[in-house]
């Protein structure tokens, strides 16, 4: 049985929720392997809309096992809130339905406060995070002072771990002129949370290995996008984890030989939330405003409007390589209906010279100028198309040109938020 990794191939918000939901119907297990509750996925199933941030997309489907891997940072308060929200929508997230890695790092209130402090107006550290404590939690993980899920199962061992954590955080608080955190208050909060969340704890690497040996299909669900990767993204305007496909192995405990197909999700245009370079940004003109209005481009988690621009083939070609993408799922093609002409970025000019990649340096990224190829648009409707025969000839030409420019085939085409409005060329699970 094939196992599939789904990753965003732009800056996130590519429509992964719908694609993952579409694939999860064929999967036995859906695994989150990085990030936290800073990533929003919207699922439309029948007449119900589910908005998930931390839980894997498969959790809303009966008979599927959802897993939060060790590469995810888990806010226990956000976890319980999301579980409660789903319960009100008729989905009972039981321990039989959800398992969480015992070695996953916890996000604490002190992480959220530090994140918000850094993102406050006028702060020199502001980079456009969601202020949910994701970055500070990953910092503590790397600094070997984090509280992990398994620590809640051994409460007598918590006090010295909390003191070690506060030796770092209270020094930061003093430096900012803020009151120090109280160790007992943190302990009491975690002790109260323990019985509510520990039933979900598991040795995830062992669980997944056993299920894989049984021939179960595993779907690895990435959050954010490859261009937000801490190593390969537009640093420092990135997230705090690796978002490329290789993290599916590290963040779940399964080896890379468990991955059979990498599916990259990208929009037929480009969007970005928050700060950072964006070579094809059109938010200062009617193109960007039209794309934003038609595409309803607002962040699921933050509600912030997304910056919108033309498709950047240079960036997607780069993420095809850094994530080892085997096939693309192209979403929101219908948003381009009615444009007389479309532009696609095929290269950059940097300080007077032509380049075919995005440089790694922050200042160089800010200076690149996009080089466009103009493609004739279409006036016919692509929304709700479910076969190639339903598409205008120029829309097909646009898709084929994207394939040529990024060096990767389009295997799925999405033409609306409805899961049925999908054109399938190749099933990743049957690769």
CB 11 within 8 A of CB 226: no
d(CA 271, CA 11): 7
Q: Kindly report, residue by residue over 173-188, the tens digit of the pLDDT.
A: 999 889 999 999 999 9
Over residues 280-306, mean pLDDT: 86
Report pLDDT for 121: 64
Q: In which band, very low, low, confident or very high, does the pLDDT at 302 lie, cut at 50, 70 and 90?
A: low
Return the closest-CA partner of residue 151 out of 206, 107, 106, 203: 106
Q: In which band, very low, low, confident or very high, does the pLDDT at 301 lie, cut at 50, 70 and 90?
A: low
Report pLDDT for 232: 96
d(CA 381, CA 349): 35
Q: Give Cβ neighbours of residue 182 (< 8 Å, ≥ 6 apart).
A: none
Report pLDDT for 400: 97
**Structure token digits, residue 354:** 């032509």
To the nearest 10°, report the CA torsion of 348, 402, 416, 290: 30
Please give the DSSP secondary-structure letter assigned to residue 305: B
Report pLDDT for 46: 73
> H-type helices in 119-261, by residue range?
134-142, 158-175, 183-197, 204-213, 247-250
**Structure token digits, residue 63:** 């008979």
Q: What H or E segment, with its residue span, contains residue 355?
A: strand 353-355
Over residues 411-421, mean pLDDT: 88
Report pLDDT for 253: 97
> H-type helices in 254-376, by residue range?
286-295, 313-322, 362-367
CA–CA distances in Å: residue 97 to residues 1, 26, 67, 389:
21, 16, 8, 40
Residues of the chain with pLDDT > 90: what percent?
Answer: 80
Please give the DSSP secondary-structure letter assigned to residue 72: B
d(CA 415, CA 177): 52
Q: Kindly report, residue by residue over 31-61, the tens digit of the pLDDT.
A: 999 999 987 777 777 778 888 889 998 898 8
Q: Is 77 a catalytic residue?
A: no
119 pLDDT exceeds 90?
Answer: no
Q: Count of CB atoms within 10 A of residue 259's CB?
A: 21
Number of H helices, E strands in the chain: 12, 20
To the nearest 10°, report the CA torsion of 212, 216, 222, 226: 70
Over residues 63-84, mean pLDDT: 96
Q: In which band, very low, low, confident or very high, does the pLDDT at 17 lie, cut at 50, 70 and 90?
A: confident
329 pLDDT exceeds 90?
Answer: yes
Over residues 362-381, mean pLDDT: 96
Q: Kindly report, residue by residue over 197-212, the tens digit of the pLDDT.
A: 999 999 999 999 999 9
195 pLDDT exceeds 80?
Answer: yes
Higher pLDDT, 188 or 122: 188
Q: In which band, very low, low, confident or very high, does the pLDDT at 300 lie, cut at 50, 70 and 90?
A: low
Q: Kindly report, residue by residue over 82-94, the tens digit of the pLDDT.
A: 999 999 999 999 9
d(CA 8, CA 20): 11
Q: Count of CB atoms within 10 A of residue 355's CB?
A: 15
Report pLDDT for 49: 84
d(CA 131, CA 111): 9
Q: What is the mean pLDDT of the chain?
A: 93
Q: In which band, very low, low, confident or very high, does the pLDDT at 299 lie, cut at 50, 70 and 90?
A: low
356 pLDDT exceeds 70?
Answer: yes
pTM to 2 decimals? 0.93
Report pLDDT for 109: 95
Catalytic annotation, pick one of 37, 41, 111, 169: 41
Q: Count of CB atoms within 10 A of residue 193's CB?
A: 16
Over residues 138-159, mean pLDDT: 97
Q: Count of CB atoms within 10 A of residue 47's CB?
A: 5
Q: Is 62 a catalytic residue?
A: no
To the nearest 10°, report the CA torsion of 91, 93, 96, 102: 160
Please give the DSSP secondary-structure letter assigned to residue 11: S
d(CA 260, CA 248): 12
Report pLDDT for 122: 63
Q: Kindly report, residue by residue over 215-272, the tens digit of the pLDDT.
A: 999 999 998 899 999 999 999 999 999 999 999 999 999 999 999 999 999 999 999 9
Residues of the chain with pLDDT > 70: what percent?
Answer: 97
Q: Give Cβ neighbours of residue 28 (< 8 Å, ≥ 6 apart).
A: 64, 65, 211, 216, 217, 218
């Amino acid at each position: 049985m094939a196992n599939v990794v789904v990753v965003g191939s732009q800056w996130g918000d590519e429509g992964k929720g719908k694609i993952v939901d579409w694939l999860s119907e064929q999967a036995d297990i859906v695994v989150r392997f990085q990030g936290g509750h800073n990533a929003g996925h919207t699922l439309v199933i029948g007449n119900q809309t589910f908005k998930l941030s931390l839980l894997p997309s498969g959790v809303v489907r009966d008979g599927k096992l959802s897993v939060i891997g060790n590469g995810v940072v888990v806010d226990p308060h956000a976890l319980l809130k999301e579980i409660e929200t789903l319960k009100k929508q008729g989905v009972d997230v039981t321990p039989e339905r959800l398992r969480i890695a015992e070695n996953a790092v916890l996000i604490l209130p002190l992480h959220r406060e530090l994140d918000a402090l850094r993102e406050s107006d006028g702060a020199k550290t502001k980079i456009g995070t969601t202020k949910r404590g994701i970055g500070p939690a990953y910092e503590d993980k790397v600094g070997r002072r984090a509280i992990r899920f398994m620590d809640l199962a051994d409460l007598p061992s918590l006090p010295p771990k909390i003191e070690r954590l506060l030796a770092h955080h209270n020094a930061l608080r003093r430096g900012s002129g803020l009151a120090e955190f109280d160790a007992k208050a943190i302990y009491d909060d975690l002790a109260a949370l323990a019985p509510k969340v520990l039933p979900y704890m598991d040795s995830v690497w062992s669980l997944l290995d056993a299920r894989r040996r049984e021939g179960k299909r595993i779907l690895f669900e990435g959050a954010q996008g490859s261009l937000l990767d801490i190593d390969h993204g537009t640093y420092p305007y990135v997230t705090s984890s690796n978002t490329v496909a290789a993290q599916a192995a590290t963040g779940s405990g399964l080896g890379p030989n468990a991955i059979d197909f990498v599916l990259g999700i990208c929009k037929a245009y480009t969007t970005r939330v928050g700060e950072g370079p964006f070579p094809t940004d059109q938010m200062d003109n009617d193109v960007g405003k039209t794309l934003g209005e038609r595409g309803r481009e607002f962040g699921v988690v933050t509600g912030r409007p997304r910056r919108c621009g033309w498709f950047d083939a240079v960036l997607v070609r780069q993420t095809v390589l850094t994530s080892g993408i085997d096939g693309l799922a192209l979403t929101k093609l219908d948003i381009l209906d009615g444009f007389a002409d479309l532009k696609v970025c095929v290269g950059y000019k940097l300080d007077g010279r032509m380049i075919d990649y995005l440089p790694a340096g922050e200042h160089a990224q800010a200076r690149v100028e996009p080089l466009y190829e103009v493609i004739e648009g279409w006036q016919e409707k692509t929304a709700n198309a479910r076969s190639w025969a339903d598409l205008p000839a120029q829309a097909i030409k646009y898709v084929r040109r994207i394939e040529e420019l990024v060096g990767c085939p389009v295997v799925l085409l999405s033409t609306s938020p409805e899961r049925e409005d999908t054109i399938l060329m190749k099933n990743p699970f049957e690769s």
